[in-house]
Amino acid sequence: MEFSQLEEPQVKKPIMIAAMQDMGNVGSIVVNFINKSLQTKRFRTAKTPFSTYVIDNGGYIDLPNEMWEYRYTEDLIVFGGGTGQPQENQELNELCQDVIDVCQKYSAKFIYTLGGFHTNRMFGKDPKTFVTTTSKDLTKHMQGLGIDMTPQRSLITGFNGLILGFAKQNSIQGIGMYGELNHPEIPQYRAAISIIKTIEKLTFRKLGDTSRLEVMAQEIEREFGH
């Protein structure tokens, strides 16, 4: 991975929200929403120098521009969004370690990650967000707040799971939030809204007006009949 530091953000003990594109594009939808709503500023980039694919436009190809951004506002650092995530295990591990390094550099005490939770439960227009944490004590605290915890043992693959492992190894408290979805191949705006509401509840801060995401959700439902 190639990392470029563009400026030094003036942040003190921020929380970190870090998520990449995954099932239902949930990670990207939430990260992109927060960046737009809070008008965050880019300060660091991560770029993969080696691609595992090319884009065929129907007769001619383009190389993918796989780059992810670190952005900030007063007491918040946001990483990720964009399209895709590294396909190579080594690159994924390098990226997770860099996120941890950035956390430590700016004394971030908490890292939130998020993504989709594939379920067969029919939840209509009200998906739940399930939470898992890096410690049993933190889980007890979440349960005390009436938060839904992940219901059973499972493997969380990709960046949006692995980053919690890196946080735990480095004694940073981490919370993973996963919004229910039935159709991982379709952008899941309602899962994203559910996660945004959960972040707001846990951080005591408003992230912005989600009505635009509600409109997008309705458009998807009309188009796909879900």
At residue 29, the pLDDT reads 94
At residue 196, the pLDDT reads 96
Q: Determine the Cα angle at 80 with ends 52 and 169, to 5°.
A: 95
At residue 177, the pLDDT reads 95
DSSP string, 2-16: EEEE------SS-EE
At residue 226, the pLDDT reads 57
Residue ranges in the chain whose pLDDT is less than 70: 52, 225-226
DSSP string, 110-130: EEEEEEEEE-----TT---EE
- Residue 44 CA: distances (Å) to CA of 4, 71, 141, 199: 6, 7, 33, 23
At residue 114, the pLDDT reads 94
Q: Tell me how far apart the alpha carbons of residues 112 and 142 are, in angstroms, rounded to a whole number.
A: 13
**Which residue segment(s) compose the domain that 138 sits in?**
2-224
- Answer positive or negative: Cα dihedral of 120, 122, 125, 128: negative
pLDDT digits (tens, 9 = 90+) for 142-152: 999 999 999 88
The β-bridge partners of 19 are 80
Q: Which alpha helices (DSSP H) does 75-188 contain, by range? A: 89-105, 136-144, 159-169
The domain total for the chain is: 1
Q: Tell me how far apart the alpha carbons of residues 33 and 195 are, in angstroms, rounded to a whole number.
A: 12
CATH number at residue 35: 3.40.50.10900
